[in-house]
Amino acid sequence: MSPRKLTGKPEELAAFVDKFDIFLFDCDGVLWQGGTLLPRAAETLAHLRSLGKKLLFVTNNSTKSRTAYQKVLQDFGIPCSVDEIFCSSYSSAVYISRVLQLQRDKKVYMIGESGMKEELEAEGISYFSDGSGDIMPEDYDTFGPDESVGVVLCGIDRTISYRKLARAYQYLRNPGTVFLATNMDSTYPTNGKLFPGAGSVSAPLTYMTGRPPLSLGKPSQAMMDAIEGVLKFDRKRACMVGDRLDTDIRFGIEGGLGGTLAVLTGVSTEEEILKEGATVVPDVYLDRLCDILG
């Protein structure tokens, strides 16, 4: 079925919003674009709150903790609580502690940044990581398997090094070591350009081991499992809102959510949404999020 563009008729908009108790929002491309808040985005969120809707902010960004991401939202003039934020560093930590239920005597070797550390700490998970720095002659002797490492978790890390990859590989040669990635995004937008994303940071490990990581970011359903691990909600009364068909909309469809809403302020275009034979199709779409206000 072809997706429907919501018209501006108040009764149609109200009927759509009424179908849901909870809205899951992607952020970049939906609420803001680069460093600029999109028109009336904050107002739209406030409107949904005034109707009693629950809001969740679901992002693949793994560089920031929830607390740090809350500040990003607040700086854009969007009030929110930490509990409403699901970034992939948090979904990874939740997955390890509540879904995998990693044993207390096992630890995580992490390749990532401060947001990942904060979230692992907040979940009480033992972890360790390497600082930046070249591989040292003694590493060739000392690096090896370690039964105490239960998980290798890989996210974007702008101090990725041969040393970190070499160490992770030794752990991953043990088939019992779980291989997780915060997300599989190939690129990470910065300053209006594309830079290597978390999926590119884990790519050498996938190439070496022949096994891809389980992703804790959209569209992986492991992220949905992590959300459900901390927050019970009726999927049929939930709507995913996003700008990317291949991550956001797919995440909502495969998660069996009651609805998916695409907006045209980000990556995917109207042409892609309406393309014949498209495999990922949102239920409805709008030019901009604020069009939901009528």
Tokens in use for 248? 């956001």
* Residue from 74, 97, 94, 117 nearest 231 by CA: 94
- Report if residue 140 touches a second copy, rule: CB under 8 A: yes
**Cα-to-chain-centroid distance, residue 285:** 21
Q: According to the binding rule CB under 8 A, does residue 246 interact with a second copy?
A: no
Sequence length of the chain is 294
Contact between 245 and 266 (Cβ < 8 Å): no
Q: Where does residue 211 rank: exposed (0-12), middle (13-18), buried (19+ CB within 10 A)?
A: exposed
Segment 54-113, which members bind a second copy (CB under 8 A)? none
Q: How many residues bind a second copy (CB under 8 A)?
A: 36
Residue 195 sits in the site that holds a second copy (CB under 8 A): yes
Q: Is 21 annotated among the ligand-binding residues?
A: no
Q: Which two tokens stand for residue 20?
A: 């849901």
Range list of H helices, 152-263: 162-172, 198-209, 221-230, 250-254
Catalytically annotated residue among 28, 157, 185, 283: 28
Helix boundaries (H) for the chain: 10-18, 41-50, 66-75, 88-94, 114-122, 139-142, 162-172, 198-209, 221-230, 250-254, 270-274
Q: Is 206 in the site for a second copy (CB under 8 A)?
A: yes
Q: Would you count residue 148 as binding a second copy (CB under 8 A)?
A: no
Note if 141 is an active site residue.
no
The answer to whether 232 is a known ligand-binding residue is no
Q: Is 234 a catalytic residue?
A: no
Interface with a second copy, residue 203, by CB under 8 A:
yes
Examine residue 132 and tell whether it contacts a second copy (CB under 8 A). Answer: yes
Binding span for a second copy by CB under 8 A among 7-15, 90-98, 139-147, 265-273: 139-147
Least CB distance to a second copy at residue 20 (A): 35
Q: Which of 6, 111, 149, 165 binds a second copy (CB under 8 A)?
A: 165
The residues that are catalytic are: 26, 28
- For a second copy, the binding residues (CB under 8 A) are 132, 134-135, 140-141, 143-144, 157-162, 165-166, 169-170, 173, 186-187, 190-191, 193-197, 199-201, 203-208
